[in-house]
Structure formats: C-alpha cells, structure tokens
C-alpha cells in the first residue's frame, strides 16, 4: 500500500473528500445501489456531519479491530482504496465500486435495510483516515409558520449502527490493527467485516494490557488523590479479575458503570477511543491485569516487582532526584544472602 504522501501539506483536522450514495433493499429483497454525489462539496455542513459521525464512532464502545485480508479476490476493498490512494481512480469511482461490494455482502447476509452511505477521507492530528458510515432517515415534527405541525425528515446521526474506519498510516506501517468497525451482533458484524475485507485479531493478553494502560491514563486524567487513585485501580482489578474467573467477556459500558458510576461516559470515551485499537468482548488475562495493582520491570542487571500498596504504605520508596528505588522490610533470608555477599567482597 502506498503511503498517503499525495495529501501531505493539508492542515490538521481537514476533510479531504466526501461522497454519499444510497443502498436500498427493494420489495424483492434485492439490494440496489443508487448513485448519489461522489464529489460532495466540503461545506461547513458536510464538515460538521463528518465531525459528528467520527466523534460518535470514537465513543462507541463495541468495536472490532484487525487488518485487510490478503484474499483480495473475495474482499477487494483494499484494492479499491489502493487505486484511489495511487490516483489510479477518483474518489467517486472508488466509492461506487465500494458500494457494489457493500451491496454484495449485504445480499449474502441480509443484515441491513440499507440507508445513506457516507464515505469520507479526512485528516485528524496529522493522521489520515477513511470513514464509512450508513445513516438512515428519521421523522420528527416541526412547527410551521401557521403554528401547525408537519413531518420533517432528517438524518438519524445518533442512531447509526454500521460504520468502519481505516487508518491510512497504520496500513502503510503494517500495523496489526488499522481497520475497525462497529461490532453489532451476529450477521451485523459479519456483514460489515466482510465489506471491509477485515481479518480481526484476537489476543486477550494484548487486549488486557491495552485496557490496563487505558485505565491508567484515565486515572491520571482525573483529580484523584494518591489514595483515591490506588483505590480506583484496585477496584478495576477486582472487577476485571472477578469477571475473568467467571469466563465473562469485558463489556466497556458495563465496566465503566460499575467502576466509575459518577461519570461512566468519560471512562467509556477513553476505552473506546479507536486510536487505542482496543476492542471489548474479550475475557481478561489475569496475568496482564496485574499491571493495575503492581509494578514490574526488568533490565539486563536486575528485575523488580512490587504491589502498588507497597508504594502507598511506604514499604517501597522512589527517589525521583536520584532516580532510585528503596525497598524496606527485606526478608531475613535475603538479608543473610546480601550480608554474606558483602563479606565475601571485602
């Protein structure tokens, strides 16, 4: 895959290309593609819509991650995007080709009623993405000038269920998780995964380690006192370890509601951030969970592991000026070994 250098020089947070087409299931249950606008003007309205879609996508907790399948004959989305990125095809032609793939996969699984399909190529924080989202219409009421009510049709942006995102830098750098999509349930997940041509990756230890880091980052962003932070981390470990023992998969919304009931949405936003590549639905690895309550490091000359409680109770002390760790209450057998080693060296 070619690196997206063609677009370098765009300002941060830029919408580069936008297209909208339509997928409809007719009375004979056949999915039809209706061409819309493959070169939608990047107006303030379009920018606001894509910003809102991506913001909502980033906050959704139930996403799956992976990379493009090497089987491009059956899953051609990566080929279509490569043609666009190498300027072998326009964005309009690319999105029409992708719509045909979408219709094919929808027909195979009958997983969607269709809807308006938005495609966006945009840049955020010096990284570029392709976003695909299917949005349906919603009917609401409005007052007329004569103080009467009338139906008004608008896009149900908050309620969309189908969306996926490709990190172009992640793809260029051969990362393991540069494609993501909303998981949904059953055929919903399979339908959009097949459309994207995504092979999901599942490694509970990696996912658990990433979750531990996200929880630590969240704790660091809160105005916790040291004791509050320690209690928060211990509670996170207890909840996840309990569910792991019961072979119960992690659900970010459930975890956030139990762990941080005062503002669960704030924790969900961190856990669900697609840039973390963290997917729920895995059973936590209890070894990796130790990172919530312990510190463990190893160098070529020594290794050390201690509980967070030891740090809080002053059994372990860190001196930032000397960049050194002091251990207290050394066990008698280790003390004897160290004294013997010292005596031998004198």
Q: Residue 107, class by beta-carbon neighbours within 10 Å (0-12 exposed, 13-18 middle, 19+ buried)? A: middle
pLDDT at 3: 47
Strands 149-155 vs 303-307: parallel, antiparallel or unpaired: unpaired
Question: Among residues 172, 200, 228, which one ends one of the domains?
Answer: 200
Q: Is residue 209's pLDDT more than 60?
A: yes
Sequence-distant (6+) residues with CB within 8 A of 169 are 3, 4, 127, 128, 178
Alpha-carbon distance 312 to 327, whole Å? 13
Of 81 and 184, the structure prediction assigns the larger pLDDT to: 81
Mean pLDDT of 44-66: 85
- 227 and 148, same structural domain? no
Alpha-carbon distance 188 to 167, whole Å? 22
Alpha-carbon distance 82 to 68, whole Å? 12
67 - beta bridge partners? 199
- 238 and 115, same structural domain? no
Alpha-carbon distance 268 to 104, whole Å? 34
Of 301 and 130, the structure prediction assigns the larger pLDDT to: 130
Q: What percent of the chain has pLDDT over 70?
A: 83
- 177 and 57, same structural domain? yes
- 225 and 162, same structural domain? no
Mean pLDDT of 234-253: 90
- 189 and 60, same structural domain? yes
Strand, helix or coil for residue 10: coil
Mean pLDDT of 240-248: 89
Whether residue 224 contacts residue 232, with contact meaning beta carbons closer than 8 Å, is answered with: yes
Sequence-distant (6+) residues with CB within 8 A of 63 are 180, 181, 182, 183, 272, 274, 279, 280
- 318 and 216, same structural domain? yes
pTM for the whole structure: 0.66
pLDDT at 34: 92
Question: Among residues 200, 228, 244, which one ends one of the domains?
Answer: 200
Range of the domain at 166: 5-200
- 181 and 82, same structural domain? yes
Question: Among residues 134, 166, 200, which one ends one of the domains?
Answer: 200
Q: Is residue 218's pLDDT more than 90?
A: yes
- 289 and 183, same structural domain? no
- 237 and 151, same structural domain? no
- 308 and 276, same structural domain? yes
Alpha-carbon distance 130 to 4, whole Å? 11
Q: Is residue 2's pLDDT more than 50?
A: no
- 270 and 180, same structural domain? no
Alpha-carbon distance 330 to 208, whole Å? 32
- 87 and 32, same structural domain? yes
pLDDT at 304: 76
Write 150-156 long-range contacts (CB < 8 A, 24+).
155/49, 155/116
Number of domains in the chain: 2
Model confidence band, residue 312 (pLDDT cutoffs 50, 70, 90): low
Alpha-carbon distance 248 to 148, whole Å? 53
Question: What digits encode the pLDDT tens for the residues 13-37?
Answer: 689 999 999 999 888 888 899 999 9
User: What is the enclosing helix (H) or strand (E) of 105?
Assistant: helix 91-109
């Amino acid at each position: 895959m070619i690196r997206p250098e063609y677009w370098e020089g765009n300002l941060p947070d830029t919408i580069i290309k936008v297209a909208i087409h339509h997928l409809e299931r007719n009375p004979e249950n056949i999915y039809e593609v209706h061409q819309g606008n493959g070169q939608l003007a990047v107006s303030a309205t379009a920018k606001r819509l894509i910003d809102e879609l991506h913001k909502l996508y980033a906050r959704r907790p139930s996403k799956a991650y992976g990379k493009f399948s090497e089987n491009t004959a059956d899953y051609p989305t990566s080929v279509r995007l490569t043609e666009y990125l190498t300027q072998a095809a326009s964005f309009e032609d690319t999105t029409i080709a992708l719509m045909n793939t979408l219709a094919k996969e929808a027909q195979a699984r009958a997983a969607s009623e269709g809807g308006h399909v938005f495609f966006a190529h945009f840049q955020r924080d010096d990284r570029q993405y392709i976003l695909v989202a299917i949005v349906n219409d919603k009917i609401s009421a409005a007052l007329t000038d004569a103080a009467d009510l009338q139906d008004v049709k608008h896009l149900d942006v908050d309620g969309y269920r189908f969306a996926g995102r490709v990190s172009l830098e992640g793809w260029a750098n051969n990362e393991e998780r540069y494609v993501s999509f909303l998981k949904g349930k059953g055929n919903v997940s399979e339908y959009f995964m097949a459309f994207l041509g995504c092979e999901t990756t599942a490694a509970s230890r990696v996912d658990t380690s990433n979750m531990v880091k996200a929880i630590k980052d969240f704790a660091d962003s809160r105005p916790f006192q040291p004791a509050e932070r320690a209690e928060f981390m211990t509670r996170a470990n207890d909840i996840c370890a309990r569910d792991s023992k019961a072979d119960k998969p992690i659900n970010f919304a459930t975890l956030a509601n139990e762990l941080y009931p005062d503002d669960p949405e704030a924790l969900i936003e961190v856990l669900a951030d697609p840039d973390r590549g963290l997917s729920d639905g895995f059973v936590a690895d209890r070894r990796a969970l130790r990172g919530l309550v312990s510190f463990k490091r190893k160098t070529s000359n020594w290794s050390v592991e201690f509980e967070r409680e030891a740090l809080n109770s002053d059994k372990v002390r860190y001196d930032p000026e000397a960049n050194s760790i002091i251990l207290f209450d050394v066990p008698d057998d280790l003390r004897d070994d160290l004294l013997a080693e010292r005596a031998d060296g004198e």
